[in-house]
Amino acid sequence: MTNIILFGPPGAGKGTQAERIRDNYNFLHISTGDVFRYNIKNETELGQRAKSFIDRGELVPDDVTIKMLAGEIEKADDKNGIIFDGFPRTKAQADALDDLLNEQNEKIDALVSLNVDDEILIGRLKERGKTSGRKDDADENVIKNRIQVYYTETEIVKDHYKQQGKLHQVDGVGSVQDITKRLNNVIDQLI
């Protein structure tokens, strides 16, 4: 399998591009944000634990998130790989992911970082908030907090994979199609 982390701040386009990668390459797409939102909508215990953090734009605690992720990875059986979208977001999550994959003789092949300036991110998220129905897109303070959390807690994950020679940087500004092409160029070298 080819296992790729699609990385970047909120609004970088991870979700949109991960869906296209899923379809192009027959990968399993794991979006931890989507799994949390599904659980909130269905009022599960996991959803109840995650909701207050998500509404404030903070990270859901690592133990909750890692346990959930372990369950999702098991669904990759008939796929060519996994595209991780929104995970890992902390160093502890990155270590846990490496261990989980290692247990299955798998590994992360690349972290692909989508680079987008903050002003563009804020604009995109405010625009998305008009239609996404996401509470965390509807409030500019929450949007700014999510971007802040990315810099203080999440960006460090890049270094973890950079040290392993697995970091790839892609310009995340442009049309959806152009960005897909840039990502495909990177992924085609990995498979």
Q: What is the DSSP code (8-state) at residue 166? A: -
Binding mask 38-77 for ligand AMP (x = CB under 6 A): ---------------xx--xxxx----x------------
Beta carbons of 49 and 135 less than 8 angstroms apart: no
- State the number of binding residues for ligand AMP (CB under 6 A): 17
Whose Cβ is closer to ligand AMP: residue 54's or residue 179's? 54
Q: Minimal distance in Å, beta carbon 74 to ligand AMP?
A: 17
Whose Cβ is closer to ligand AMP: residue 140's or residue 188's? 140
Q: Is the peptide bond before 88 cis (omega within 30 degrees of 0)?
A: yes
User: How far is the CA of 149 from the CAs of 37, 38, 53, 138, 173, in angstroms?
Assistant: 19, 22, 12, 17, 21
Which of 111, 114, 110 is CA-nearest to residue 171? Answer: 114
Told to check if 10 binds ligand AMP by CB under 6 A, we report: yes
Which of 63, 64, 57, 76 is CA-nearest to residue 35? Answer: 64
Whose Cβ is closer to ligand AMP: residue 45's or residue 78's? 45
**Binder of ligand AMP out of 32, 39, 96, 150 (CB under 6 A):** 32
Structure tokens at 40: 């909130």
**Binder of ligand AMP out of 22, 29, 146, 168 (CB under 6 A):** 146
1 exposure class (CB count in 10 Å sphere: 0-12, 13-18, 19+): middle
Find the binding residues for ligand AMP in span 76-135 (CB under 6 A).
86-87, 89, 93
As annotated, the active-site residues are 14, 89, 128, 134, 146
* 54-87 burial code (b ≥16 CB/10 A, e <16): bebbbbbebeebbebbeebbeebeebebbbbbbb
Whose Cβ is closer to ligand AMP: residue 115's or residue 185's? 115
Q: Minimal distance in Å, beta carbon 89 to ligand AMP?
A: 4
**Binder of ligand AMP out of 7, 27, 36, 161 (CB under 6 A):** 36
Max intra-chain CA distance, the chain: 43
Instruction: Please report, as ranges, the residues that interact with ligand AMP according to CB under 6 A.
Output: 10, 32-33, 36, 53-54, 57-60, 65, 86-87, 89, 93, 136, 146
